[in-house]
Chain A
């Protein structure tokens, strides 16, 4: 089975722009979670989608949004980019349920100038 894929792998944007990141989960996985990793804050939970519904949301401003499609692929969007949004954005997929093992993608490295 193919692993979790994320596109693009690297992205450079300027302040005020918006960005869309994509995540394709492992085939058959219905849960996709998104995380932000920065040197200062470490790994933080953004949101989790299950069967096209946002099931849980972390403590991030409304500029961060996401969605999940019927094929379980997920996108996250960040509008009005700020310098502090520079981070590694990771998605992870799991089959279902609660407390499952999650399989992480390689991440998208976003740099905001």
Chain B
């Protein structure tokens, strides 16, 4: 069983919609990360969370440590948000990431 589970696997939205991607994990973590990967492979780190909530532009990330759950929200979605969104955790030792399977988001104009 994967230690990090993401849902949904695929998501299609109309431009302007509010989007939520969920991530659950089953191990102790140092931090939870949300990443974005565009076609071609480049990965960008969006958020690093150890508690609470963070906001960057139209993106909001939350984490509930007790429930071992995190969500990524995109408000007023735009076609340029189309990408694969990946949650990953770093354990209590080291910097390495362990990844979820990713959510492929397509935003239609």
Contact = CB atoms under 8 A, between A and B. Distances in A.
A55 interface: yes
A104 B45 CA distance: 8
A103 B41 contact: no
Interface in B16-75: 29-31, 33, 41-45, 48, 50
B41 A99 contact: no
Interface of A is mostly: strand
Interface string B70-101: 00000000000000001010101111111101
Nearest to B98: A45
Q: How large is the interface on A (under 10, 10 to 19, 20 to 34, 35 or more residues)?
A: 20 to 34
A53 to B, nearest CB: 11
A106 B37 CA distance: 11
A19 B97 CA distance: 24
A43 interface: yes
Contact of B94 (A48, A90, A103, A107): A48
